Amino acid sequence: MSRTKERLRSVIRILLEKFSYLGDWWPYEDTKEEIVITSILTQNTTWSRVEKAFKELKKHFGSINLEAIASCDLGEFENIIKTLGFFRSKAKTIKDVCELIVNRYGGFDKCLNLSLGEFRKELLSIKGIGEETADSILLYAFDMPSFVIDNYTIRILNRFLPSEFNKNRDYEVVKSLIEEFVKNVGKMKTLHGAFVEIGKNFCKSKSPVCSVCPLKEGCYTSQVQFLKRDLTSEYRETVSL
């Protein structure tokens, strides 16, 4: 096994162990059908704005169901979510996804029997659906084993094993590397949640809080910071002698 894979396996093992309590992690209290919509609404915006749009959707449709959205008028749908940035493009993307699920495949339940490869390809062919959104829909709404790579995952891996991972590493490459070690849907959800928790609470974009991070033992960046601190204090001691 290559060094990259060995180190990646150790990150995954630590995260699954330390964050097992996250279970089928998903940050919102959504039904499966709502997850399809939330995955698109949350692109490039804050949760408070999504919440507002979500309330409007519930007011309009009662409960959110993909059939109702597929058959509603695009202009009407744009109007319901107009408090969101990019509401026109998001409305079109959501409608296209709902139409794919309802009109092409016969509804949410029928999609559960689709092949992952075919369904992913169809989702990715819709304008506004990138890899991360497609994988969120597949993993969290349809319980299909398609791991989600987000900015947190890339940042953490770049810092944990920088020589093996670099910023240009392709989404699909990182995804398939992780999927070599994690094939179970529940574990994929937990692992993705763990990357989000580490990214939000420890591995922050500007200043990582390595001293209390659960990954600090094997992390390259943490060790470099520790060495720098050590050398600086040694230098200060020498100067003050």
Which residues in this chain contact ligand SF4 in the complex, by CB under 6 A?
156, 159-160, 202-203, 208-210, 213, 215-216, 219, 221-222
Nearest residue (CB) to ligand SF4, 46 versus 223? 223
Compute the least distance from the CB of residue 190 to ligand SF4, in Å.
17
Nearest residue (CB) to ligand SF4, 43 versus 221? 221
- Contacts with 6 (C-beta within 8 Å, 6 or more apart), sequence order: none
Compute the least distance from the CB of residue 196 to ligand SF4, in Å.
13
Nearest residue (CB) to ligand SF4, 39 versus 222? 222
- Tell me if 108 sits within 8 A of 66, measured CB to CB: yes
Nearest residue (CB) to ligand SF4, 116 versus 209? 209
3-state helix, strand, coil in the chain (%, to 5): 65, 0, 35
- Contacts with 234 (C-beta within 8 Å, 6 or more apart), sequence order: none
And the tokens for 200?
Answer: 């939000």
Compute the least distance from the CB of residue 64 to ligand SF4, in Å.
36
Residue showing tokens 């790579």: 149
And the tokens for 25?
Answer: 């992690």
Compute the least distance from the CB of residue 204 to ligand SF4, in Å.
8
